[in-house]
Structure 1
Amino acid sequence: MGNRQVEGLDFDKTFAPVVKMTTIREFHKIAAVKGWEVHQMDVHNAFLHGDLEEEVYMRLPHGFVSQDKSKVCRLKKSLYGLCQAPRCWFAKLAVALKAYGFAQQVADYSLFTLECGSMQLFVLVYVDDLLIGGNDLKGIHEFKGYLSACFHMKDLGAMKYFLGIEVSRSPDGFYLSQRKYALDIVSECGLLGCQPVSTPLEQNHKLPDDEGEFYEDVERYRRLVGRLVYLTFTRPELSYVVHMLAQFMQQPRAKHWAAVIRVVRYLKGCPGQGIVLSANSYLQLTAYCDSDFSTCSLSRISVSGFIVMLGDSPIAWKTKKQDVVSFSSTEAEYRAMSFTARELKWDRELLGYFGVSHPQPMRLFCDNKAALHIAANPVFHERTKHIERDCHFIRDEIQDGSLVTAHLTTTEQPADIFTKALGSQQFAYLRRKLGMYNLHAPT
């Protein structure tokens, strides 16, 4: 298939915005608290609905005979396999939603909200999969009828299985897990009968320093690590190990492959592990952040990790290398606090779109007292003069009263699981603190 896209001009406009997983988790938490209905719809042949804005040409399809073999077809509508198709479909859907009265939100462009009197409706878009929720069941059914009139839709009813995520609902809230997906990974590796392990990564590992023989099947390594990345959507305890293994995609070694197999053996022992988004009405944003100073032996860059809780439910987490080398553990912790504070501000903005106000200060816990003192004290410090200004915005948030910080011990720090490999007892203890449960575990 050919086209006339100009590289650097329109060649990069080839994707469809998808709803962030944090938005999905936060929406389900609020739906559990407020008792909203959550339904799911799927679009048949979604990409065929898009309207092309550019001139795109393609070779004649197989079976079509033309006397002039030099001629090609000009497309009037988007087609599967076309680079622009996802973007064109999203634009067509957005127009239909706005025509119904929905507003597209800036914090997440795949979130659409509608308020009409006392009725609240929300639509979360992930390419051709739609989540529809709100406080008015009749309004939801009317809106689904509107969508079915606009597009060829499949009504899947109440949400039970979305993007490989299994959803169970009870009066206590939503339980999200990827049990089937995890078992598929174990089965694909032929490890259904293996002996499970209690942690996904060996403590005090030296994976970045390994100089052993290279692993030959690079494609297999990349495929398996890619599948593990998707598993972190409901498995925050895997964030650090996946972050570590993803660094060796270019040339994995045999030891790196052995580490991947250890993760699969860990999954074998707890495939049904997941998160609970409870119906507890306490909607306070609380975050825990941590860093591991100079953890990368190659670049000496520190690793930041955080988890954000809405009430007692986890809604956001991440493990990420810092952008620059920190001069001290205090600076590394301070950068982790700044990184987490930005996430908190975004989560609070998202709450407003769901009709939830958060007047009380957000809470941020850190286990480094020096970093807490620097954040609270706006006086210039000789030891912090090299820290960029964007890190110091956390001081303004504290002075404005929108954020409060507090200290907790390292042994009680849940974010510790995002920055390093832990022993089995501490790993299991912090995993429980993350709000994770295994409904499939024997009692």
Structure 2
Amino acid sequence: MKKYRYRQSNSDHTLFIKKRVGKITCLIIYVDDMIITGDDTEEMSELRKNLFNVFEMKDLGQLKYFLGIEVLRSKKGIFINQRKYILDLLAEVGMLDCKPADTPMVQNHGLQMTKEAKPADRGSYQRLVGKLIYLSHTRPDIAYAVGVVSQFMHAPQEEHWETTIRIVRYLKGTVDHGLLFEKHGHLEISGFTDADWAGNPNDRRSTAGVLYLRRRESCDIEKQEAEGGSTV
């Protein structure tokens, strides 16, 4: 990739980036699977040709499934979710027929380490929480709850395990949820942040969250309203 003048990302060494005439091409690789994307169609075509000359490869067309993430396309944009990943997780923990929970975590949970509390199986706990952490990539609605239970990976207790199981029960009722990247024709981004300010009962640390949204410009809203659509 460096031979083709791509720059290796410092934050993720499996990601390679090339900028050319105001456009960008990205390649990310995992073992023997890779994704090529960007807005430079000429460069992407050239990259495929160069890689085919060096490696035995097969072009599978538009991305549909990658590392447990399903990719669906429509006129509205690109929708990604991990439906199969969730169903496999439910089957693994024997909860395919469980009763769904309305929320991933109760309010004011006060979860902490308790003296003389019954310990949970650390291996099972770490495996389950690890899978939930990966699932958070397409399910930001569980990100806070997963962030809380991941604080007890070193010595989980029964209460922590039950809280984690509630997240799984919530997933049972929201299997089809995911992220929709809508088409807007621009990349205007707004950021929001919040924190509970010293909410951790053990060390008085704060739990913070950040959310970035792409905003629609007024012309997009006016156009949609003229076409009889609705805005959110």
Identify the TM-score tier after normalising by the shorter chain. Answer: 0.7 to 0.9
CA 1:263–1:106 in 2, change beyond 3 Å: closer, same or farther?
closer
Kept in 1: contact 2:189–2:215 (CA 8 A): yes
Residue identity matched to 1:261: I
Tell me the CA shift for residue 198 of structure 1.
Answer: 0.9
Distance 1:157 1:212 in 2: 56
CA 1:215–1:106 in 2, change beyond 3 Å: closer, same or farther?
closer
Aligned to 2:27: 124
Residue identity matched to 1:113: K
Residue identity matched to 2:142: L
Distance 2:182 2:163 in 1: 34
Aligned to 1:189: 93
Kept in 1: contact 2:100–2:172 (CA 8 A): yes
Aligned to 1:164: 68
Task: Name structure 1 gaps, 5 residues minimum.
Answer: 1-96, 313-434, 436-443
Sequence identity (%) = 37
Distance 1:255 1:134 in 2: 45
Q: 178, 181, 187: which is aligned to 1:277?
A: 181
Greater radius of gyration (CA): 1
Greater displacement, 295-304 / 124-133: 124-133
CA 1:251–1:103 in 2, change beyond 3 Å: closer, same or farther?
closer
**3-state DSSP of counterpart to 2:61:** strand
CA 1:130–1:252 in 2, change beyond 3 Å: closer, same or farther?
same
Superposed, 1:196-211 pairs within 5 Å as: 196-211=100-115
Distance 1:133 1:164 in 2: 18
Residue identity matched to 1:307: L
TM-score normalised by length of structure 2: 0.83
Kept in 1: contact 2:68–2:82 (CA 8 A): yes
Superposed, 1:328-343 pairs within 5 Å as: none
Aligned to 1:254: 158
Aligned to 1:89: none
**3-state DSSP of counterpart to 2:58:** strand
Task: Name structure 2 gaps, 5 residues minimum.
Answer: 217-231
Distance 1:203 1:135 in 2: 44
Aligned to 1:321: none
Distance 1:212 1:262 in 2: 23
Offset from partner CA, 1:157-183 (integer Å, 9 cap, x none): 111112211111112111011111111
Superposed, 1:46-195 pairs within 5 Å as: 97-104=1-8, 110-115=15-20, 120=23, 122-128=25-31, 129-135=33-39, 137=41, 139-195=43-99
Tell me the CA shift for residue 209 of structure 1.
Answer: 4.8
CA 1:209–1:133 in 2, change beyond 3 Å: closer, same or farther?
closer
Distance 1:250 1:107 in 2: 26
Q: Cα RMSD (Å) of the superposition?
A: 2.3
Aligned to 1:234: 138
Superposed, 1:265-344 pairs within 5 Å as: 265-311=169-215
CA 1:103–1:294 in 2, change beyond 3 Å: closer, same or farther?
closer
Residue identity matched to 1:127: Y
Kept in 1: contact 2:6–2:16 (CA 8 A): no
Higher helix share: 1
How many pairs align? 215
Tell me the CA shift for residue 281 of structure 1.
Answer: 2.1
TM-score normalised by length of structure 1: 0.45
CA 1:138–1:262 in 2, change beyond 3 Å: closer, same or farther?
same
Kept in 1: contact 2:113–2:157 (CA 8 A): no
CA 1:299–1:134 in 2, change beyond 3 Å: closer, same or farther?
closer
Kept in 2: contact 1:125–1:131 (CA 8 A): yes
**3-state DSSP of counterpart to 1:156:** coil
Tell me the CA shift for residue 137 of structure 1.
Answer: 4.6
